[in-house]
């Protein structure tokens, strides 16, 4: 049974939590000025606003929870948001916020549930332990979606770079056959059926009514997703579209450089894996030598 001190600590913690929630609820949410200006920008051709998606009926429980949190909680409560990572994964910010709150809620509830199970098993746990564990688990689970987004975005960028090398070769072949810059980029995007080619095709299709040139659209997409390789392609196509430069050799050289860089990265990963695999063999050798030397050392110690 909990003691009077433990009950007093628990009651004080609940009262403090209630007061903190009331103050947090009454605190006006500060709008993100950068996000507001980005939504009003004329270069913003694809919907990124999660409030628009929720208002159109799109989204699940995570998005609705995230929209409520964006309207209610202060903007500084979320810390650093991986905007570029979410953009390349096409995850709305509201869903990301909803996942953070749901993960934090699970981390907050898991330790008390475990403590209750131990109590039912006649193994009482002091109240302080589940309280501290709940706070720690809530913080860790709150930060877990950030790690997941960055890890998934890293894999997506690697996949985008591999597909972009093939796309650049296709653009070079289209330009070499006499197609114009826009026609070459659109025809090359229609060849592939992966998500990278579809993403490029969508951006190029929007330029027909947005007023942007194809290379400017790719440059904006490169800035949005954090893809320097795509920005290089946009610069090369701008030289062809605005200055009429011959870019076939430039495109082939850029694709060859990308393939060489990816090959070097894969070789470095293979070397790291090989080094990690040599560690268990080294440990086995050390253990084998220890087994051989141990009897002799024991006899020497016994004789002395």
Residue 165, Cα to own-chain centre: how many angstroms? Answer: 23
Q: How far apart are CA 180 and CA 240, in angstroms?
A: 9
The per-type count for the chain, helices as H runs and strands as E runs, is 12, 0
Which residues lie closer than 8 Å to 112 by C-beta, 6 or more apart? 130, 134
d(CA 191, CA 169): 12
Q: Which two tokens stand for residue 262?
A: 């990816």
* Banded model confidence at residue 27, pLDDT cuts 50, 70, 90: low
Whether 231 contacts 219, CB under 8 Å: yes
Domain range spanning residue 224? 157-258
Tell me the average pLDDT across 114-121.
Answer: 84
Rg (CA), the chain: 29
Percent of residues, the chain, with pLDDT higher than 70: 81
Has residue 48 got a pLDDT over 60?
Answer: no
191 occurs within a structural domain = yes
159, with CB counted inside 10 A (0-12, 13-18, 19+), is middle
Which of 6-10, 139-143, 291-295 shows the lowest mean pLDDT across its residues?
6-10
pLDDT band at 70 (very low <50, low <70, confident <90, very high): confident
The highest-confidence range among 1-5, 122-126, 194-198, 284-288, by mean pLDDT, is: 194-198
- Is residue 242, in this structure, part of any structural domain at all? yes
Beta-carbon contacts of residue 259 (< 8 Å; ≥ 6 apart)? 165
Torsion of CA 106, 110, 116, 121, to 10 degrees: 140
Examine residue 233 and state whether it is found in any structural domain, yes or no. Answer: yes
Q: Say if residue 35's pLDDT is above 60.
A: no
pLDDT at 151 over 90: yes
Q: For 222-271, how does the pLDDT look when each residue is reduced to its tens digit (9 = 90+)? A: 998 888 888 888 888 888 776 666 788 888 888 888 888 888 888 888 88
What tokens does 187 get? 């025809």
Q: What is the pLDDT of residue 53?
A: 42
- Classify residue 91: in a domain, yes or no: no
Say how far apart CA 261 and CA 266 lie, in whole Å: 9
239 within some domain: yes
Give yes or no for residue 152 having a pLDDT over 90. Answer: yes
pLDDT for residue 160: 92
In the chain, the number of structural domains is: 1
Q: What is the pLDDT of residues 201-228, one digit of tens each?
A: 999 988 888 888 888 989 999 998 888 8
Q: Are 204 and 297 in contact (CB under 8 A)?
A: no
Taking the C-alpha atoms of residue 178 and residue 195, their distance in angstroms, rounded to an integer, is: 27
Report helix, strand or coil for 238. Answer: helix
Higher pLDDT, 46 or 132: 132
DSSP letter at 77 equals G
Residue 84 lies in a domain: no
pLDDT tens digits for range 271-282 = 888 877 777 778
Q: What pLDDT sits at residue 24?
A: 63
Residue whose entry in the numeric block shows the structure tokens 């004080």: 12
Higher pLDDT, 55 or 212: 212
User: Can you give the pTM of this predicted structure?
Assistant: 0.69
């Amino acid at each position: 049974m909990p003691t009077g001190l433990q009950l007093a600590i628990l009651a004080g913690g609940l009262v403090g939590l209630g007061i903190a929630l009331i103050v947090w609820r009454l605190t006006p949410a500060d709008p993100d000025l950068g996000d507001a200006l980005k939504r009003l920008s004329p270069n913003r051709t694809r919907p990124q606003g999660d409030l628009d998606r929720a208002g159109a009926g799109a989204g699940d429980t995570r998005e609705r929870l995230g929209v409520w949190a964006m309207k209610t909680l202060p903007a500084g409560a979320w810390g650093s948001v991986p905007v570029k990572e979410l953009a390349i994964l096409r995850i709305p910010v509201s869903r990301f916020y909803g996942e953070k709150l749901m993960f934090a809620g699970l981390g907050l509830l898991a330790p008390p549930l475990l403590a209750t199970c131990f109590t039912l098993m006649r193994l009482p746990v002091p109240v302080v332990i589940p309280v501290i564990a709940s706070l720690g688990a809530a913080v860790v689970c709150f930060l877990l979606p950030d790690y997941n987004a960055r890890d998934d975005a890293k894999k997506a960028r690697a996949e985008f770079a591999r597909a972009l090398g093939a796309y650049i070769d296709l653009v070079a072949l289209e330009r070499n056959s006499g197609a114009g810059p826009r026609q070459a980029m659109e025809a090359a995007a229609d060849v592939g059926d992966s998500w990278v080619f579809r993403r490029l095709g969508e951006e190029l299709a929007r330029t027909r009514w947005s007023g942007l040139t194809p290379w400017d659209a790719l440059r904006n997409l490169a800035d949005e997703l954090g893809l320097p390789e795509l920005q290089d392609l946009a610069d090369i196509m701008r030289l062809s579209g605005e200055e009429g430069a011959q870019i076939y050799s430039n495109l082939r050289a850029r694709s060859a450089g990308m393939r060489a860089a990816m090959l070097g990265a894969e070789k470095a990963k293979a070397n790291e894996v090989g080094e990690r695999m040599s560690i268990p063999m080294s440990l086995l050798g050390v253990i084998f030598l220890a087994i051989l030397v141990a009897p002799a050392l024991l006899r020497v110690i016994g004789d002395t």
